[in-house]
A and B are shown apart, each in its own frame.
Chain A
Amino acid sequence: MSHTTTPRRARGAGRHLHAGKFTYAVLLLFTVGSLFPLVWTAVAASRNNQRLAETPPPFWFGGDLFANLTTAWSDANMGKALFNTVFVAGTIALTTVVFATLAGYAFAKLRFRAKNALLLLVIGTMMVPPQLSVVPLFMAVAELEWTNQLQAVILPMMVNAFGVFFMRQYLVSALPTELIEAARVDGAHSLRIVWHVVFPVARPAMAVLGMLTFVLAWNEFFWPIIALTQDNPTVQVALTGLGQGYIPDESVIMAGALLGTLPLLVVFLLFGKQIVGGVMQGAVKG
């Protein structure tokens, strides 16, 4: 590596180059662009409607945040929506992580018939758009009288192909095959091996997959707005109600958007580094 630090490097040898002012300026610009709409959501949520209908638009926080949040909480059913969404996204994240780890372990370390074909099939299922299942799912939900019940949105999302692939990629390199063989030699049956060998090794990836799945499930949109109504909404359903003129007050709409986004922003603030790592890790080996 030492030769890369010779002056020749100054001509630009990829990533070892220090960023210049221009790089920082562009990155800052994009950072502002990424964060501005979120900050402005909070600004608009802290103003009243008259102020939002003035020129220039407000750039700083006003004093109506609490009032608007309260209105959104009660009138747009945001309280119930948040509770429902935590439950739905939490359940989906948990089952996805468990099932994806089991399947990912099998694809990474075990041998069985038609393994490669089945793995290709898993990847192929990612191509199927959700629109292709809403009509039959809607019929099934109508038949079972599950409209407005949370299991209608949980069940179809309990596994996902990305998770299986993600865990497989992680376990292929992170889990030493000798460890499994040693456990087998000691007479451990497969479930014991999963519990005592695979899960402990997979834990970091499971945590990242759990967070990514939680974010995706929290934001799931198409099927929930069909299966649920404003009486028992998830956050996205409640926001759709706001957007379709359920409550015409713009500042309350922004307060609802803020309430629906804040929990995920907190997750990002706490675990942003790990989530970034997970997104990058899931991408490389694809």
Chain B
Amino acid sequence: MTSSRTDPLPRARTTGPPGAAGEEPAEDGQGGAAATEVSGGARGPGPRVRRRHRWDARFSPYAFIAPFFLFFAAFGLFPLLYTGWASLHRVSLHDPTHMEWVGLHNFSRLLEDDFFWNALRNTLTIGVLSTVPQLLMALGLAHLLNYKLRGSTFFRVAMLTPYATSVAAATLVFAMLFGRDYGMVNWGLGLIGIDHVDWENGTWTSQLAVSSIVIWRWTGYNALIYLAAMQAVPHDLYESAALDGASRWQQFLHVTVPSLRPTILFTVVVSTIGATQLFGEPLLFGGSQTGGGSHQYQTLGLYLYEQGWFNFQLGRASAIAWAMFLLLIVVGLANWLIARRLNKTH
């Protein structure tokens, strides 16, 4: 058995590299190990067992990844495409199986729809208001958490706690804190002589309040991700920077931040995806699908919900969903271009 045990490795190595250019080794690799194993143990199992083993080795990887892809096909890919199909139809919520072809009407209608543009604008402004301060604070926090700390576990767990709080619970609490007459925030502002702010009814104030919920829930999470990346930065980099006389702030700026660039890009992508889909916070902040009396904080996700489930227009809702998808792709491309520019300048 020892011979057969050591055998597969050199064999795999010799078959591996030459074929590495093409597709063959991918198919062969696992099968290769099985084949050598079979040749080594040829005295033991009979040919049927051997064949079964080879089949097993070749096809089991597909069996292992199959559940994920089957579920994704059924509940991700198919709905994605079908949403595109539905967006070309008039579909009523009350009779969703009856679809009437309208071509691109739902999309052309969106282009003339003030509420759509309003929702798009709100999504972008709330996205910026929530993402930028969130990631900047997370970066600073991670830097602080990276020091030698007493009770570092306590700080980390405490800052991740908002992440465990649901959108619904967090938003209900924040809606109270931002209340006009008895809210804690206005009471605090009153202490320093600022008059009551009508958070929910103003455009900027409501968007700030909604953004603050996002910031509260995600800053700690992102800080931990940055912290993990900071701990992987080679220590020598800091030492040589210190030897060159770099201050702590300069080290942060010239060692930490450049080393974190891939992680920062990752969090920017994830946060912008989240911001594009923002839904629960604006829905529950005022408790209505319109996102405020004059739609002042209605996001695209919320507008989709209003069109589909309050105006009963599933076709239009599908068109909005695809508009969101396109927006995501544009934002993703923008992120990628910016990242490439940054890489070039360094």
What 0/1 pattern do residues 212 to 246 of A give for CB contact below 8 A with B?
00010011011000100000000110011011110
Contact A155 B75 (CB under 8 A): yes
Which residue from A9, A112, A143, A281 sits with its C-beta under 8 Å from B228?
A: A281
Nearest CB on B from A40, distance (A): 7
* Distance A137 CA – B147 CA, assembled complex (angstroms): 48
B318 cross-chain contacts in A, Cβ below 8 A? 135
Nearest CB on B from A108, distance (A): 11
With A254-B173, A283-B228 as contacts: A55 and B325 at CB distance below 8 Å? no
Contact B172 A242 (CB under 8 A): yes
B288 cross-chain contacts in A, Cβ below 8 A? 244
User: Is the CB of A138 closer than 8 A to any CB of chain B?
Assistant: yes
* Distance A107 CA – B233 CA, assembled complex (angstroms): 27
Q: Which residue of B lies closest to A20 (CB)?
A: B147
Contact B232 A105 (CB under 8 A): no
What 0/1 pattern do residues 28 to 43 of A give for CB contact below 8 A with B?
0011011101101100
Segment 140-199 of B: residues with Cβ below 8 Å from A:
141, 144-150, 153-177, 181-184, 187, 190
User: Is the CB of B116 closer than 8 A to any CB of chain A?
Assistant: no
User: Is the CB of B201 closer than 8 A to any CB of chain A?
Assistant: no
Which residue from B28, B83, B171, B230 sits with its C-beta under 8 Å from A243?
A: B171
Contact A112 B83 (CB under 8 A): no
User: Is the CB of B124 closer than 8 A to any CB of chain A?
Assistant: no
Which residue from B28, B173, B221, B277 sits with its C-beta under 8 Å from A279?
A: B221
User: Is the CB of B253 closer than 8 A to any CB of chain A?
Assistant: no
User: Is the CB of A134 closer than 8 A to any CB of chain B?
Assistant: yes
Number of inter-chain CB pairs below 8 Å? 369
Contact A13 B27 (CB under 8 A): no
B78 cross-chain contacts in A, Cβ below 8 A? 136
Segment 151-172 of A: residues with Cβ below 8 Å from B:
155-156, 158-159, 161, 164
Segment 44-72 of A: residues with Cβ below 8 Å from B:
44, 52-57
User: Is the CB of B107 closer than 8 A to any CB of chain A?
Assistant: no
Contact A12 B67 (CB under 8 A): no
Segment 220-277 of B: residues with Cβ below 8 Å from A:
220-221, 224-225, 227-233, 235, 237-239, 242-243, 245, 247-248, 251, 255-256, 263, 266, 273, 276-277
Nearest CB on A from B287, distance (A): 5
Nearest CB on A from B230, distance (A): 7
Chain A binding surface, main DSSP class: helix
Nearest CB on B from A136, distance (A): 4
Nearest CB on A from B266, distance (A): 6
User: Is the CB of A23 closer than 8 A to any CB of chain B?
Assistant: yes
Nearest CB on B from A280, distance (A): 4
Contact A37 B67 (CB under 8 A): no
Which residue from A26, A31, A264 sits with its C-beta under 8 Å from B164?
A: A264
Contact A243 B41 (CB under 8 A): no
Contact B159 A34 (CB under 8 A): yes
A100 cross-chain contacts in B, Cβ below 8 A? 68
Contact A286 B266 (CB under 8 A): yes
With A40-B173, A100-B68 as contacts: A31 and B158 at CB distance below 8 Å? yes
With A131-B321, A254-B173 as contacts: A19 and B147 at CB distance below 8 Å? yes
User: Is the CB of B4 closer than 8 A to any CB of chain A?
Assistant: yes
A118, A142, A189, A279 pick with most chain B CB within 10 angstroms: A279
Contact B26 A53 (CB under 8 A): no
Contact A16 B235 (CB under 8 A): yes
Contact A132 B29 (CB under 8 A): no
* Distance A134 CA – B302 CA, assembled complex (angstroms): 13
* Distance A34 CA – B80 CA, assembled complex (angstroms): 36
Nearest CB on B from A125, distance (A): 6
A14 cross-chain contacts in B, Cβ below 8 A? 146, 233, 235, 237-239, 251, 255-256
With A11-B242, A260-B169 as contacts: A99 and B67 at CB distance below 8 Å? yes
Segment 94-146 of A: residues with Cβ below 8 Å from B:
99-100, 102-103, 105-107, 110-115, 118, 122, 125-139, 142-143
Nearest CB on B from A98, distance (A): 8
Which residue from A52, A113, A185, A281 sits with its C-beta under 8 Å from B4?
A: A185
Nearest CB on A from B324, distance (A): 6
Segment 24-59 of B: residues with Cβ below 8 Å from A:
25-30, 33-34, 37, 40-41, 44-45, 49, 52-53, 56-58
> Can you list 6 A-B contacts (CB < 8 A)?
A8-B243, A12-B248, A19-B147, A20-B147, A161-B68, A184-B57
Additional A-B contacts beyond A14-B146, A110-B64, A111-B30 (20; CB < 8 A): A8-B243, A13-B242, A14-B239, A14-B256, A18-B148, A20-B147, A34-B161, A37-B173, A37-B177, A99-B67, A103-B67, A115-B26, A128-B76, A131-B320, A133-B80, A243-B168, A243-B172, A253-B176, A257-B173, A276-B160
Residues of B in contact with A (beta carbons under 8 Å apart): 1, 4-5, 8-9, 23, 25-30, 33-34, 37, 40-41, 44-45, 49, 52-53, 56-58, 60-65, 67-69, 71-72, 75-76, 78-80, 82-83, 86, 91, 96-97, 137, 141, 144-150, 153-177, 181-184, 187, 190, 216, 219-221, 224-225, 227-233, 235, 237-239, 242-243, 245, 247-248, 251, 255-256, 263, 266, 273, 276-277, 279-280, 283-284, 287-288, 301, 304-305, 308-309, 314, 317-318, 320-322, 324-325, 328, 332
**Which 10 A-B residue pairs are closest in the complex by CB-CB distance?**
A111-B29, A133-B79, A272-B157, A14-B238, A190-B60, A280-B228, A19-B147, A239-B168, A283-B225, A219-B166
Residues of A in contact with B (beta carbons under 8 Å apart): 4, 8-9, 11-20, 23-24, 26-27, 30-31, 33-35, 37-38, 40-41, 44, 52-57, 99-100, 102-103, 105-107, 110-115, 118, 122, 125-139, 142-143, 155-156, 158-159, 161, 164, 181-182, 184-187, 189-191, 194, 215, 218-219, 221-222, 226, 235-236, 239-240, 242-245, 250, 253-254, 256-258, 260-261, 264-265, 267-268, 272-273, 275-276, 279-281, 283-284, 286
